[in-house]
A and B are shown apart, each in its own frame.
Chain A
Amino acid sequence: MSGHAHSHKRSGLWDWLTTVDHKKIGILYLIAGGFFFLIGGLEALLIRLQLIVPEADFVGAATFNELITMHGTTMIFLAVMPVIFALMNAIVPLQIGARDVAFPFVNALGFWLFFFGGVLLNTSWFLGGAPDAGWTSYTTLALKQYSGIGVDFYVLGLQIAGLGTLIGGINFLVTVINMRAPGMTFMRLPMFTWSAFVTSGLILFAFPAITVGLVLLMFERLFGANFFNPDAGGNVVIWEHIFWIFGHPEVYILILPAFGVISEVVSTFSKKRLFGYSSMVFATVMIGFLGFMVWAHHMFTTGLGPIANTLFGIATMLIAVPTGIKIFNWLFTMWGGQIRFTTANLFAVGFIPTFTIGGMTGVMLALPAADYQYHDSYFVVAHFHYVIVGGLVFGLFSGLYYWWPKMFGKMLNEKLGKWNFWTFFIGFHLTFFPQHFLGLMGMPRRVFTYLKNQDLDLGNFISSIGAIGMTIGTILFLANVVVAARSKKQAPADPWDARTLEWAIPSPAPEYNFAQTPLVRGLDALWVEKMAGNKGMTPAEPLGSIHMPSPSFLPFLMSIGLFIAGYGFIFEHHVFSVIGILIAFACMLMRSLKDDHGYHIEPDEIEEKGVKA
């Protein structure tokens, strides 16, 4: 029977296009996310270059609006989200002692949808102009009367990418609920897995809102609907509500995994268990929950009235409490420990004060009356960059330095890493700290220039110089990746003397993750075994043949179908829309009709590969 076929060897490009292995998908997410990160970074550099002096004429007003829109959209949806998914894919199944994710096929589909959605969005630069209504695409500016074809790319690109994210989220929820190794109870889950779990929950409940928002905008722009056009009874504020009902949880979708990474890294490099683990779990869930209750704090100046404003303001302030719990728990994890300043830990340690500043300005922004001054000014720009770059990107760098050996089997260079950290860290503060004051001094956000004699020159100049530091930091990271890839030295299984399950298996993780499913006997499963004097995990099953899912080209093909349909809608050649959608449906049909029997890896193969039982 085909179910007993052995692993079919595939290699090269075909392997990557058809893989359903979560570790390889993680690497794909990292490459694609990294690529979009560079594009978004380039856009940021152009923005800062334009603003380096007043009344500059480096890029035009229209191009500038395209740059800010694409910078925001790219960074949020196409850069940091995928890198988060890269870490989740690479690590979560390993941390719970699973051989695979719950839906390997869906996982691959999620990646390719995101990828083609992102590519679709970015091709707008060459096909009639990028979206220019801001990453928030407020109506009526985003309607056809006021903005170009770029917004159609925004709508279709994000719709396709968002679909990928949504099914990715479902995959991780089911994986964590159903695929945990024996003994891995919920209250033994590593913090990163916990945060990935809560983040996936937020994705599940937040993304459908933006799906609807994008559908409404698409119908309005392409099929003459009137949701937002006040001339036909529409209402512009509805878009704001829908966008932020998604948009605010999105912020926590981003930051929670960073919290998870910091918790792992700080604990490992302090050689101590996480201080207040249960309150950390509680805080994570609490932040996720409150994240859905506060969307209107993005809309204090919309005119919702004082009752709504103060209610949402106070709800927002409440988030400071669980966040504060986290900050102090990290500090007290380090307290009494033996702190090693590896690059991963430098980023984690640098995260703490930086994120605290972002949290502080967050509380300040939660006061509606004061927010009337901050809103849509550079103060807000400073705030969310402190949270997203100073929080999330530091967290991602930390996670990448920490887990790189597990993902690729090579260590990143520590010396380069430290240069990477310091240039990025100093560049970051130089760029964004002055922006708080620029905003208070009367500089609105999203301005392509500012006039002379407004006392805004110095702050902008410093800010633009700082961007160079962040650029150097990023280049150093890329250099580090190249150095690591070319290095011959193989990373050990447990290079950091770490605590969780992923470090119990070789680096990089083998195809089947665990030769034998491990038995988990406490929080920090590997550490428990180390303290008991064991060399590795205790297996929960005898060595046997391992069932693996077959690779499939369908996810790629299906995403191509939607990619084609996207162009069909944008250019209103509906023949292509129909063809694209039919391709997607045909793939679904094939997937449904043809059973995947997978293949088996036999014990002798496992032993051949020199894996310890």
Chain B
Amino acid sequence: MSADHTVNSVLPDEPEKATLEGKNKVLGFWLFLGGETILFGTLFATFIALRNQTNGGPTGHELFELPLTAAATVILLVSSMTSVMSVLAMHQHNLKKMQVWLTITAILGIAFLALEIYEFSHYVAEGHKMSSSAFGSAFYTLVGFHGGHVLFGVLWLITLQLQAIKKGLTVVTAPKFYVFSLYWHFVDLVWVFIFTVVYLMSIVGGKVG
């Protein structure tokens, strides 16, 4: 009978957990993120094992530029915050405010992607390619997998915006917004690790790393 709830009827404080379907969705998504953790963990392990195997090509120390990746980090961290704001707005049952925050989140996500595309094209020009070395393969796979997650998140966000416009905030749509913000936090968290393991360790570790 979940479908009977609408914005007009009394929406509970935490609309995402008001129905069994909503609870299932949130729990299932947490579990899914558990699996995703293993997925990225495996990619990180592969990267760490292969990060020095440059096959004569440029090393991370030579390639990576701190300002660029730091900017990307800031963008993504801010977007994590804006997605929190959207959930807060949802808990206040403020549809408009939620949509605004979601839109900002999407824009930041797109900005991040643009930076990443710029970064990758730059590397390719310097001879750092997927096929040039084991380091290249591991780098593009790990960072690219994350980028793919961001891209998916942005596309997902667009469909959620459509639903926000069409259906408003109900006990059916609320879990979707909530789960999206879980996803987005996760993607940001992964980036923090990428920033540390891939970029900082290469830049600071220098020739040793």
In chain A, positions 584-601 with a C-beta closer than 8 Å to chain B are: 589, 592-593, 595, 597-598
In chain A, positions 207-266 with a C-beta closer than 8 Å to chain B are: 207-209, 211-213, 215-216, 219-220, 223-227, 229, 232-235, 238, 241-242, 245
Which residues on the B side are within 8 Å of A220 (C-beta)?
Answer: 137
Question: Which of A204, A224, A547 meets B31, CB within 8 Å?
Answer: A204
Which residues on the B side are within 8 Å of A177 (C-beta)?
Answer: 27
Please, how many angstroms separate the alpha-carbon atoms of A522 and B11 in the complex? Answer: 37
Residue A128 lies at the interface, judged by CB distance under 8 Å to chain B: no
B39 close to A212 (CB less than 8 A): yes
Identify which of B45-53, B60-68, B85-93, B198-206 touches chain A: B45-53
Residue A87 lies at the interface, judged by CB distance under 8 Å to chain B: no
Bitwise interface map of B from 180 to 195 toward A, beta carbon under 8 Å scored 1, else 0: 0000000000000000
Residue B162 lies at the interface, judged by CB distance under 8 Å to chain A: yes
A225 close to B163 (CB less than 8 A): no
Q: State the interface size on chain A (CB cutoff 8 A).
A: 47
State the Cβ distance, B44 to closest chain A Cβ, in Å.
10
Total A-B residue pairs with C-beta atoms closer than 8 Å?
A: 127
Residue A479 lies at the interface, judged by CB distance under 8 Å to chain B: no
Question: Which of B39, B42, B131 meets A225, CB within 8 Å?
Answer: B131
B162 close to A593 (CB less than 8 A): yes
State the Cβ distance, A398 to closest chain B Cβ, in Å.
30
Which residues on the A side are within 8 Å of B3 (C-beta)?
Answer: 1, 3, 595, 597-598
State the Cβ distance, B111 to closest chain A Cβ, in Å.
23
Which residues on the B side are within 8 Å of A593 (C-beta)?
Answer: 159, 162-163, 166
CB nearest neighbor in B for A596: B3
A233 close to B133 (CB less than 8 A): yes
Residue A171 lies at the interface, judged by CB distance under 8 Å to chain B: yes
Which residue, B24, B136, B176, has most C-beta atoms of chain A within 10 A?
A: B24
CB nearest neighbor in A for B54: A233
For the complex, would chain A's binding face be called helix, strand, loop or mixed by DSSP majority? helix
A209 close to B42 (CB less than 8 A): yes
B27 close to A178 (CB less than 8 A): yes
Please, how many angstroms separate the alpha-carbon atoms of A497 and B106 in the complex? Answer: 59
Question: Which of B28, B34, B54, B141 meets A205, CB within 8 Å?
Answer: B34
CB nearest neighbor in B for A206: B38
B28 close to A207 (CB less than 8 A): no
Which residue, B23, B27, B38, B172, has most C-beta atoms of chain A within 10 A?
A: B38
Bitwise interface map of A from 377 to 419 toward B, beta carbon under 8 Å scored 1, else 0: 0000000000000000000000000000000000000000000
State the Cβ distance, A139 to closest chain B Cβ, in Å.
12
Which residue, B3, B4, B36, has most C-beta atoms of chain A within 10 A?
A: B3
In chain A, positions 159-213 with a C-beta closer than 8 Å to chain B are: 166, 170-171, 173-174, 177-179, 204-209, 211-213
B28 close to A592 (CB less than 8 A): no
Residue B127 lies at the interface, judged by CB distance under 8 Å to chain A: no
Question: Which of A174, A219, A233, A592 meets B141, CB within 8 Å?
Answer: A219
B50 close to A235 (CB less than 8 A): yes
CB nearest neighbor in B for A231: B55
In chain B, positions 143-167 with a C-beta closer than 8 Å to chain A are: 145, 159, 162-163, 166-167
**Additional pairs, 6, CB under 8 Å, beyond known A173-B28, A209-B38:** A103-B24, A178-B23, A211-B39, A227-B46, A589-B159, A592-B159
- Can you sample 23 A-B contacts with CB below 8 Å? A3-B1, A102-B28, A170-B28, A170-B35, A174-B28, A178-B23, A204-B35, A208-B38, A208-B39, A211-B39, A216-B46, A219-B130, A219-B141, A225-B130, A226-B55, A226-B131, A227-B137, A229-B134, A233-B135, A235-B53, A241-B45, A242-B46, A592-B163
Q: List A residues at the B interface (Cβ < 8 Å).
A: 1, 3, 102-103, 106, 166, 170-171, 173-174, 177-179, 204-209, 211-213, 215-216, 219-220, 223-227, 229, 232-235, 238, 241-242, 245, 547, 589, 592-593, 595, 597-598
**Shortest beta-carbon contacts, A-B, top 3:** A233-B53, A224-B131, A225-B137
